[in-house]
Structure 1
Amino acid sequence: MKFCPNCGNKLKENDSKCPKCGFELSKAKLQDNKLDGVKQKFNLKNIDLKNFDLRKNGSKTDKVNVQQFFGQHKKIVWAICALIVIILIYTQVYVPHVVNSALENNGFTSAKGYKVNVNRMHKIITLKSNYAHEKQFNEQLRANGFDTRQLPVENQMSNVAHELAGRTLGTWTIKMSTGEDLHTGNGKFGSFWVFKGTKETKRFQTTPVGRQCRNEYLERQREQADDEAQQQKDDLIGAGAIGFMLGAL
């Protein structure tokens, strides 16, 4: 018994078209021949192209392909997963521990009066000192005559830079900044000392403000020396005058 491929109506053996919907059976035969040609060309003998559900069969195929991929590349998949875990442990656990340890070992903590900001994404550490530190820096610079000798804080920053360079990947930048000028107090100056990697790239002592402080210090020293020389000269003149008067008597 035959059925119409268009509406499903029962057909007689000698019907050339469906008496219900008028579908010509010769078209159905031509369509079957085309499907058979496609199946033969692409080796799809076991697939019913008439009732093929692309979404259903595609999902099943994708699932099988994923399972096959994991089965065939199990070692590679596990290696990738392990690498991701290692990266997460390094960035979220190891690096913060190393940074905090280096800062604490060199006295850059809130307990010591420093405000510390760590940007792990860009590898930048910003240290902000308080008024007591600024006063101490200023006294140390004065004691050095505002020359280019290193201050203890620079040695501390250098220690942090070398420790991070030796224990982490990439190049870290460490900045020491304060809210006002160390010498004059005339507003913000920015970063006074900067380390990139293990190299000190900025020093207050060599900035225009630092050189101005040096020149002012030297000028005061010259003025003081001139005043002392004049005082000695005046003392000698006074002593000579007294001696002359005593001799005249």
Structure 2
Amino acid sequence: MAPLDFSVLLRDDAPQMLVRGVVIMLELTVLAWVLAMVLGTLLALVRMSKSRTAQAAVAGWVEYHQNVPMLVQVFLWYFGIATLLPADLQTWLNRHGGEFTFATVSIGLAMSAYVSEGLRGGIRSIPPSQIEAGRALGLTYLQSFRHVVFPQAIRIAMPTLINHTVLLFKNTALAMTIGVAELTYATREIESRSFKTVEVYLLATVVYLAISLLIMAAGTMAERRMRIASR
């Protein structure tokens, strides 16, 4: 059995490829997370409205994104929806990293469905009397929801949102299938040149595990602070 040789990770442009891959991976994670959180919050609010049409529309959105594999959704956006755009816009996207854009949009939209369900569960766990108490104090319905209900719902849904954040982070690896040069893409390129499969993919595994644990630790810390602040 040949000994492991990690020096391959320091040869030629391998270090630059790995660092660039990590940077792109983190950029993709942050942008997709912001999209998922903003849209997921709006979807949760619409789902809690009294409009049956709006509720049905959001329910359809959630069912689609939760039951269709995310890889298929990435392909749909990059190979399908992209072709429906105006020719000038397609040309501009091709020249300015369209792969990254479509990966961000597809992953963010998919995860918004999970975020909306997590928030909806937190909102539904708050007794209606909380809104009534806010109204009794002179707050409007929206003010009662914003200052009374939503902070409590966020705190309750925090463990679920942390899990969804980790899931979103891991799913950024799917972007390599459409040519986004994130960590998994860079790892595969280095492995195909060096044939050091174990060494290269072991490094990628350690990086993914470390960042996932950091996300969980940050989420746990935020949850603890929210709990202390609520007291």
Q: TM-score range by the shorter chain?
A: under 0.3
Give the alignment's TM-score, normalised by structure 2.
0.23
Give the alignment's TM-score, normalised by structure 1.
0.21
**Larger relative contact order (C-alpha < 8 A, sep ≥ 6)?**
2
Question: Comparing both structures, which one devotes a greater share of its residues to strand?
Answer: 1
**Structure (1 or 2) with the larger CA radius of gyration:** 1
Question: Comparing both structures, which one devotes a greater share of its residues to helix?
Answer: 2
